[in-house]
Amino acid sequence: MMRVLPLFASVAMVAFSGSSAVGATLVGSELNLRVEIQRTPTSELLVNSFPASAIVSESAVEFPNAQSLGSVPGFSLVNVAINAGADYLAIDFDNAGIGTFANTFKNSYVFAFSAPVALQITDVLIDPSTTLDLTSDRVTFDGNELSVNVQGLRFNSNSFARLNLSTVAASEPSEPDVSVPDSGAVAVPEPTSVLSLGIVALAGIILKRRTNRKALQ
């Protein structure tokens, strides 16, 4: 029987325009997992029978038994354990036995992280502790989703994969300052007001000069 393995996860983050980005943790986010298989470039895309999700925790393995996640028509899942931490995803093959992933056109597990704060993957690195023959060209990510194509890879109970994720959380842009100035603020008169005051002052000076002249006559 040909087998499939979920291998990676993705972090969701949508950055708001004009916001400041900071490093984000995966702990507390919801990890969603699906399996995608396509025999040929033109054949139907097959997906596991039901979606799987778990809350990322430092103290628990999110998916301890991959075979319990359902099946893909014509295939069975490799029985791996998938564990996520603050900034990584690990795939453990202790209970997977020995075998080879189905060598189909596409044989991927797609993971997505959703959280109260918008998340986005910015980089993924294969950890040096990885013993599965996984290469960077098999790992792709876009926004909050990450896909790993494991087609044709050999595995045994000693195989292991760890992927280190860099993510960011975007804070919402601050609201513009719409506070009303306090009553002690000095108002600057408009040009028309200044002109009116000037005319009144000039008329007063002329009238005063005329009055003085009459007094001297």
- Strands annotated E in 28-182: 30-38, 46-47, 52-55, 76-77, 81-84, 88-92, 99-100, 106-114, 119-126, 139-142, 145-149, 154-155, 160-170
Domain boundaries, the chain: 3-170
Instruction: Write down the pTM of the prediction.
Output: 0.65
Residue length of the chain: 217
Alpha-carbon gap, residue 146 to 172, rounded angstroms: 24
Q: What pLDDT does residue 4 have?
A: 44
Q: Is the pLDDT of residue 126 over 90?
A: yes
Count of other CB atoms within 10 angstroms of residue 81: 17
Please report which confidence band the pLDDT of residue 129 belongs to, taking 50, 70 and 90 as the band edges.
very high
